[in-house]
A and B are shown apart, each in its own frame.
Chain A
Amino acid sequence: MTPAWKRRLAFTRMGRWYTGLTIGIGLAATNTGNNLLFLVLGLLLASIIVSGILSEQTLKGVHLERRLPAVATAGQPALIGLRARNGKSRAPSFSLEIRERGGDVAGHGFLVVLPARESGEVAYRFVPQRRGLHRFRQLEIATRAPFGLFEKSRPLDVPGEMVVFPRAVPAPPLSAQALARAGEQPEDRIGAGLEVHSLRDHRPGEDSRSIHWKSTARAGRLIAVDREQERRRRICVVLDQRRLRGEALERAVEQAASLVVRELEGGAEVSLAVAGDFLAAGSGEAHRCAALRLLALLEERGADAAPPRPEAEAAVIEVRE
């Protein structure tokens, strides 16, 4: 936890020149006893003091928060929002630079002015180079206001985490065996599929769309049709990472991710089996995120870890190195 009073002060390039000149003028004034040089020295020193007070005033009362994107994928740009709120009642803050400090991500944003009791937001572009957990620790708010002589900064604890999904790569083509099992499979029970299961009398109040018009015409009364329940295609992506290390593991994870995405987009229910973990079959955006999250956080495992357990009823696609 960083204390709220902690500040860091650094010279800017101009500040170094300015300070050097101030020291030089001070020496000249002391040497010659020229009061007008003392006057100039007084102005320069006073400017430094005023600069210190104002920069403190600028940093004071500013609260920060980070806005992380819902989804981030390795190799693709993500925008990270930095929101600053000026809690002071009257004084605006000028020339604020907000930057990441101490975490896995580097980035910064600049706000020219932040009026009193208002908020401002800037965003920086971040391209994650790896999958997995990215930690954010602190945000540093810095200002060179009002004269650009010194940079005063104040670190604020704004911890956060962002899971970066594996890099999107083209999915490998399916094998002939897998292709043969592709498509929806009917089940012998009534459902909402396309195939006809049985015909029966239409019940009053039933949806008119269930009427089978040809049979109705033949029978001379309203005949309804029951359709078969169709089960979605079930795919289980299997990744055994026990023997995979480094780049090989990364490539395998990326392939697994691309397979999951492709199959989900193709309408299948996808389960994911990895060494030591299993994600039950599902579909939709939430399931996609859960699968990619699991893959994003996948770590190397030893040979003694439990092997992947593929779903019995699903077509298995095994990711190989």
Chain B
Amino acid sequence: MRFPGARRPTLLQAQRWAGTLTAIFAFVACAVSGEMGAVMVTLFPLALAGASLGGARFRGRAQWAWTALLGGALLIFAAQVLAGHLDVVLAAALFAELLCIHRLWHRRSGRDEVILLLLSLLLLCAGAALAAELAFGFAFLAFAVSGTWALALTHLRSAIEAGRGPAGSAALLDSRRIATPALFAGLAALALAGIAGAAVVFFAFPRVTIGGLRRTSRHAPVAGLGDRVDLSQHGTVADDPRVALRVRLDPEPEGGPRDLAMHWRARTLSHWTGQGWRSQGAAIPAMRLPQRGPGRPSAVLGADIEIVGSFADGVVLTPEGWPVSVDFRRPGSPRPPAQRLYRNGAGDLFYQPVDGNDLRYFVAVDRDEPDLQALRGRGGQYPPWLAPDLEVPALDARVQALAQRLGGGKDPADAVAAIERWLGTALRYTRELPGEVADPVADFLFVRRAGHCELFSSAMVLMLRSLGIPARNVTGYFGGRRTGAGYYAVRAGDAHSWVEVYFPGAGFVRFDPTPASARGSAQEGLRARAVLLWDGLQQRWRAFIVEYDLITQARAMRRIAQLVDETGRRLAGKGNAPGGRARVTAMVLAVVLIGAGVIVLLRRWGGRRQRRGSFALTADQERAVRLWRVARTMLRRSGMETAPATTPRELARRMPAAGEVAVLYSDARWGFSPLSASTARAALKRLRAALREQVATDRAA
């Protein structure tokens, strides 16, 4: 670590910087929730800059003004909370921010620094209650490191001030030799140890919750696919890299492709407005979804779908195929889901309530769809409820003529295939929007001969309807990019539009006239990758941290127990032998004990080597040291206390009984005189006898 100006900071500077950093990261942890409001978010950096530039000038002044301001703010927040205009946690966070700002402007003593750290901790807690974002995680990590610095340095400062007094501490506090890079690195390592400990506590702490005061979720603005399409817009279709859906498929697609070629159906738009489409028909609660036909579905695909909160507009997105079931219940959760399923006449699925939060559900679809051969020869007799999908608006004559040319007189299946093929090959895909034109479809087909997916699908629907074939426009997403977190990310830029055509006995069948290479988005840029990377991290954060609950914990513990069992069986070499866990436990204990023994031996060996390295003792000297230790122990046991600093000669003067041992020790240890084991033993024997005699005399006296 190199500090500006190539000079190390003084201890006082380093301590203040660490405290400031801690407050900043606590504020960031709170601010990433997005609930604090622009004013309060802007206020903190401004106040911080003000405190850094001119804080010293105002320190300790106009306290009454600060008190009045804080008191006023407290009253306002309390009134808003009581009136129900402000969440109590948010109010607490805002007030903690104001207190932090106040303390940043008044940092005079070590006590102020301690209060600032405690306020920062409160702010972090408020952030934990407000935000569940990954950004909080990064702020938390930064807080853990800077907080460790700040705590340790603040303690050091307080200890120096208390231990040496104001005058004596000044030199140390202004010293540039204490806050060294090594100290910061050591403290950072300490913080890492703290984070590791936090992880252990986090995963092992029993997740038994009372659930008394749960904070309600905030409502966020939603940007879904919408229930209408306007083809007369200006500009360019933007490539939005934001993730709209996260999908896990069961079974996984073969080969685990990077890009998924899958239509994610949102809703149908049947009514032509002249400039686009709109949906029709109200949805009613659906207890069970209608089956496609008799018999069990043969090819069921399960999709675990998570709609990102900002795209969750009440529509249930389904993968290609006939939806068999939709389940909003979280696997393993005993609670009933809050959402209910609805279905409209067109078969679109919806849910209520829409709360702006991410929605996760499991949908199963029957992917067994008839091919073109199977669709041929089904005739042109359609039920009356298909009237909206046969509705032909006032069309440009050329559109009708083109439809006739491509599909007139053919079997409906062949006509559909021909029109789809022609559109996909004769026309070009572009993201440029046509702008306001009288007939966007005619303009697309005969003037520009290029357009985006909605124009392709709209043209096909209108051409089919002009031939008397029921068809409708469908919106949704196409694609999905595999992420490192094990799910497919469908992004906002993957929004797509295609066609469903009705065939008697087969129902609506999907056709997509947009050229295959132009479907979905073309997002390969740095930003798109960064968004995907961030989303992947966010998912891991949510999976392992935010949504870690009692069920997950129990599952993880069971998994650990299973692993232990399996390991035990493998070690025992028996497939299903009982007592595997006990065996592993015994082995782990044995390994721990052996490890501890090795560590103790290594330390002893290291210590001895170190002692020998610094001043190697001869055998006689070591014997003298041992003799001296034993003699002192004997003296102590006989009630003769000796201070550690007592020299042998002093001891000999005070206690004549120890005179011989003292002389032997001094001569051998420091005078390099020989000392045999027998001599030492004899001296000890005589000392013991003398001490006994002395103790007896004392008792008699």
Known contacts A31-B209, A89-B606, A145-B155; is-contact A112 B172 (Cβ 8 Å): yes
Which residues of chain B come closer than 8 Å to A40, judged between CB atoms? Answer: 121, 124-125, 128, 140
Q: Does B211 contact A (CB under 8 A)?
A: yes
Which of A42, A149, A157 has most chain B Cβ within 10 Å?
A: A42
Indicate which residue in A41, A54, A66 contacts B205 across the interface (CB closer than 8 Å): A41
Is A33 in contact with B159, judged by CB distance below 8 angstroms?
no
Which residues of chain B come closer than 8 Å to A45, judged between CB atoms? Answer: 197-198, 201
Q: Does A102 contact B (CB under 8 A)?
A: no
Q: How far is the CB of B259 from chain A (nearest CB, A)?
A: 33
Is B208 in contact with A30, judged by CB distance below 8 angstroms?
yes
Q: Does B548 contact A (CB under 8 A)?
A: yes
Known contacts A17-B118, A30-B208, A30-B210; is-contact A144 B155 (Cβ 8 Å): yes
Indicate which residue in B152, B193, B641 contacts A147 across the interface (CB closer than 8 Å): B152
Indicate which residue in B114, B155, B190 contacts A95 across the interface (CB closer than 8 Å): B155
Is B163 in contact with A148, judged by CB distance below 8 angstroms?
no
Is A33 in contact with B156, judged by CB distance below 8 angstroms?
no
Is A46 in contact with B209, judged by CB distance below 8 angstroms?
no
Is A110 in contact with B200, judged by CB distance below 8 angstroms?
no
Bound CA span A54–B114, Å: 20
Is A47 in contact with B194, judged by CB distance below 8 angstroms?
yes
Within 8 A of B (CB), among A50-91: 50, 54, 63, 65-67, 89
Is A36 in contact with B128, judged by CB distance below 8 angstroms?
yes
Which residues of chain B come closer than 8 Å to A97, judged between CB atoms? Answer: 159, 163
Bound CA span A97–B159, Å: 9
Q: Does B129 contact A (CB under 8 A)?
A: yes
Q: Does B628 contact A (CB under 8 A)?
A: no
Which residues of chain A come closer than 8 Å to B129, judged between CB atoms? Answer: 28, 32, 34, 36-37
Is A159 in contact with B643, judged by CB distance below 8 angstroms?
yes
Q: Does B74 contact A (CB under 8 A)?
A: no
Known contacts A1-B636, A112-B178; is-contact A42 B205 (Cβ 8 Å): yes
Indicate which residue in B125, B196, B197, B606 contacts A37 across the interface (CB closer than 8 Å): B125
Within 8 A of A (CB), among B350-396: none
Indicate which residue in A36, A49, A66 contacts B132 across the interface (CB closer than 8 Å): A36
B645 and chain A: residue at smallest CB distance: A65
Bound CA span A109–B641, Å: 25
Within 8 A of B (CB), among A1-25: 1, 14, 17-18, 21, 25
Known contacts A25-B125, A32-B211, A41-B205; is-contact A110 B164 (Cβ 8 Å): yes
Which residues of chain B come closer than 8 Å to A28, judged between CB atoms? Answer: 125, 129
Is A144 in contact with B207, judged by CB distance below 8 angstroms?
no
Known contacts A40-B125, A46-B195; is-contact A31 B213 (Cβ 8 Å): yes
Bound CA span A240–B164, Å: 47
Bound CA span A35–B206, Å: 11
Contact size class for B? 35 or more
Q: Does B90 contact A (CB under 8 A)?
A: no
Q: Does B31 contact A (CB under 8 A)?
A: no
Q: Does B146 contact A (CB under 8 A)?
A: no
Bound CA span A19–B208, Å: 21
A156 and chain B: residue at smallest CB distance: B644
Q: Does A158 contact B (CB under 8 A)?
A: yes
Q: Does B154 contact A (CB under 8 A)?
A: yes
Bound CA span A37–B29, Å: 12
Is A32 in contact with B205, judged by CB distance below 8 angstroms?
no
Indicate which residue in A17, A32, A39, A89 contacts B214 across the interface (CB closer than 8 Å): A32
Bound CA span A94–B155, Å: 11
Chain B positions 149 through 183: 1 when the CB is less than 8 Å from some CB of chain A, otherwise 0 = 00110111011101110000000100000100000
Bound CA span A110–B160, Å: 8
Bound CA span A149–B151, Å: 9
Q: How far is the CB of A108 from chain B (nearest CB, A)?
A: 8
Q: How far is the CB of B105 from chain A (nearest CB, A)?
A: 21
Bound CA span A78–B477, Å: 87
Bound CA span A145–B187, Å: 12
Is B160 in contact with A112, judged by CB distance below 8 angstroms?
yes
Q: Does B546 contact A (CB under 8 A)?
A: yes
Q: How far is the CB of A10 from chain B (nearest CB, A)?
A: 15
Q: Does A284 contact B (CB under 8 A)?
A: no
Q: Does A186 contact B (CB under 8 A)?
A: no
Which residues of chain B come closer than 8 Å to A33, judged between CB atoms? Answer: 207, 209, 211, 214, 549
Q: Does A43 contact B (CB under 8 A)?
A: yes
Which residues of chain B come closer than 8 Å to A44, judged between CB atoms? Answer: 121
Q: Does A38 contact B (CB under 8 A)?
A: yes
Indicate which residue in A25, A46, A95, A148 contacts B151 across the interface (CB closer than 8 Å): A148
Bound CA span A6–B208, Å: 37
Indicate which residue in B187, B194, B208, B214 contacts A46 across the interface (CB closer than 8 Å): B194
Q: Does B610 contact A (CB under 8 A)?
A: yes
Which of A89, A110, A113 has most chain B Cβ within 10 Å?
A: A110
Which residues of chain A come closer than 8 Å to B211, judged between CB atoms? Answer: 31-33
Which of B207, B209, B215, B607 has most chain A Cβ within 10 Å?
A: B209
Is A32 in contact with B194, judged by CB distance below 8 angstroms?
no
Is A32 in contact with B215, judged by CB distance below 8 angstroms?
yes
Indicate which residue in A31, A66, A145, A159 contacts B212 across the interface (CB closer than 8 Å): A31
Bound CA span A33–B548, Å: 10
Q: Does B144 contact A (CB under 8 A)?
A: yes
Is B155 in contact with A147, judged by CB distance below 8 angstroms?
yes
Bound CA span A6–B108, Å: 38
Q: How far is the CB of B424 from chain A (nearest CB, A)?
A: 49
Bound CA span A45–B194, Å: 9
Q: Does A193 contact B (CB under 8 A)?
A: no
Q: Does A160 contact B (CB under 8 A)?
A: yes
Which of A43, A50, A65, A66 has most chain B Cβ within 10 Å?
A: A43
Which residues of chain A come closer than 8 Å to B152, judged between CB atoms? Answer: 145-147
Which residues of chain B come closer than 8 Å to A109, judged between CB atoms? Answer: 163
Is B643 in contact with A46, judged by CB distance below 8 angstroms?
no
Chain B positions 71 through 95: 1 when the CB is less than 8 Å from some CB of chain A, otherwise 0 = 0000000000000000000000000
Q: Does B531 contact A (CB under 8 A)?
A: no
A1 and chain B: residue at smallest CB distance: B636
Q: Does B545 contact A (CB under 8 A)?
A: yes
Indicate which residue in A37, A112, A113, A146 contacts B190 across the interface (CB closer than 8 Å): A146
Which residues of chain A come closer than 8 Å to B194, judged between CB atoms? Answer: 43, 46-47, 50
Within 8 A of B (CB), among A131-183: 144-149, 157-160
A143 and chain B: residue at smallest CB distance: B159
A89 and chain B: residue at smallest CB distance: B610
Which residues of chain A come closer than 8 Å to B131, judged between CB atoms? Answer: 36
Is A54 in contact with B190, judged by CB distance below 8 angstroms?
yes
Bound CA span A211–B131, Å: 108
Chain A positions 176 through 204: 1 when the CB is less than 8 Å from some CB of chain B, otherwise 0 = 00000000000000000000000000000
Q: How far is the CB of A293 from chain B (nearest CB, A)?
A: 15
Q: Would you mind naming 12 contact pairs between A and B with Cβ atoms under 8 Å apart?
A: A31-B211, A33-B207, A34-B128, A34-B215, A36-B127, A36-B546, A40-B121, A45-B198, A65-B643, A112-B172, A113-B178, A148-B158
Sorted from nearest, which 8 A-B pairs have the closest CB atoms? A46-B197, A110-B163, A148-B155, A33-B209, A42-B198, A36-B128, A42-B201, A42-B202
Given pairs A34-B129, A40-B128, 8 additional interface contacts (CB within 8 A):
A33-B214, A36-B140, A39-B198, A42-B200, A42-B202, A112-B178, A158-B644, A159-B641
Residues in A lying within 8 Å of B, measured CB to CB: 1, 14, 17-18, 21, 25, 28, 30-47, 49-50, 54, 63, 65-67, 89, 94-95, 97, 109-110, 112-113, 144-149, 157-160
